[in-house]
Structure 1
Amino acid sequence: MSDTLTVTGQCLCGAVSMSTGSMSPSMGACHCSMCRTWTGGPLLAVDCAADLQISGAEYISRFQSSDWAERGFCSQCGTHLFYHLKQQDQYIVPIGFFAVDEGVTFSHQVFIDEKPEYYSFANVTKDMTGAEVFALYASE
C-alpha cells in the first residue's frame, strides 16, 4: 500500500472542491463530543497534512472550535470540509468528501473514552483516550 493517495472531491453543491496528493491511507474515527455534534456521529477522517488544494475558497466558512483548531464547511450547502490544526497547518478531511472506495484502512480511534455506548465498530484499531491524544500532540 502506498504511503499517500491522490484524491479529489467536491461538496454537495459543487461550490468547493479539494484535492491532495498526500492523503494518508489510514482512516481514523474521532469520538469527541465536538466531532459528534459537528457530524451527527463519529468523525471518520483522513490526514491530508498541509497539502490541500482548494477551489472555491470564497465559499468556505471557518469556525474556530478551539485555540488550536478550526472547522471548515461550505457556506452554500453545509458540507463538512475539514478540521484544520492551525499550528501544524494540518488538514483532517472527512473520508466521505473524497471519491475513494479502496486503498484506505480503518486504523485508529481517538477520544475512545468519549464514545457513547450506542455504537461500536468491529474493526481492530489502535485506540487512544483524549488524554493520550493531548499528550501526543502537546509535545509537537
Structure 2
Amino acid sequence: MKVKGSCLCGAVKINIPQIAEEITVCHCHMCQKFFGGPFLSLAGVLPKDFSLRGEEQIQRFMSSEWAERGSCKTCGSSLFYHSLADDEYYFPAGLFDEIDQAKLVGEIFYDQKPAFFHYQEATEKLTEEAFLQKLFNDSE
C-alpha cells in the first residue's frame, strides 16, 4: 500500500511508497500521553523507505533510552515514534487517508491498556516485559 500523510497544519508531509497494510496498537503510558490515547501505528519503516518534507518543523524528543518521538512545531501533531534499536519509524495511522483497508494485527504493552476500551479483532497481545524482551533479543 502507498500512503501520503501530513500533520494537522500541513507543515510536515510524509510519503511512504510501500508499507504493509497492518496496524499495531501500543498501550504504554508514554504513548497514551504523547498520542492522547493508544498509539495506532503503521508498520515500522526504515528512513530509506519514506520521505519527509518540512523536517525543519519537526521537534524531536528523547522519550527513553531506546526511542525518540516527533511532533510538529506549528500545530503540535504527533508525527512518529522512532525506535533507535532498529532505526525504524512508526507513524500514527491517523496521519494518512489511504489506510481504511488496513488490518489490526497486534497490541503491545497490553498490561498497561486502560480497562475502558477493547478491540474486537483477535490480535497478538504482548505485555511490556514480553515486548521489550522481543525487541532487544531481535535487535542483537
Per the shorter chain, which TM-score range? over 0.9
Q: 2:92 aligns with which of 82, 91, 94?
A: 94
Cross-structure match for 1:45 = 41
TM-score by length of 2: 0.92
For 1:118 and 1:63, locate their aligned partners in 2 and report how far apart those are by CA, in whole Å: 29
What is the correspondence of 1:1-140 to structure 2 with a 5 Å cutoff? 5-50=1-46, 51-139=49-137, 140=139
Q: CA deviation at 1:69?
A: 0.5
Quote the Cα distance in structure 2 between the aligned partners of 1:57 and 1:82. 12
> How much does 1:90 deviate?
0.2
Unaligned 5+ residue runs, structure 1?
A: none
CA RMSD of aligned residues (A): 1.1
* 2:93/2:99 contact within 8 Å kept: no
| Equivalenced residues, count | 136
Q: Secondary structure of the equivalent of 1:87?
A: coil
The one-character-per-residue Cα deviations of 1:3-50 (angstroms, maximum 9, x if unpaired) are xx2110111111100111232211011100000111121011112411
Residue 103 (structure 1) shift: 3.0
- The percentage of aligned residue pairs carrying the same residue is 35
Superposition misfits of 4+ residues, deviation over 6 angstroms = none
**Which structure shows the bigger proportion of residues in strand conformation?**
1
Query: When the two structures are superposed, what TM-score results if normalisation uses the length of structure 1?
Result: 0.92
Q: Quick check: 1:24–1:48 contact (8 Å CA) kept in 2?
A: no
- Contact 1:20 / 1:48 at 8 angstroms: preserved in 2? no
C-alpha separation in 1, matches of 2:23 and 2:42: 5
Paired letter, 1:77? C
CA distance in 1 between counterparts of 2:9 and 2:44 reads 22
Structure 2 distance, partners of 1:26, 1:71, is: 21
Verify the 8 A CA contact 1:35 1:43 in the aligned structure 2. Answer: yes
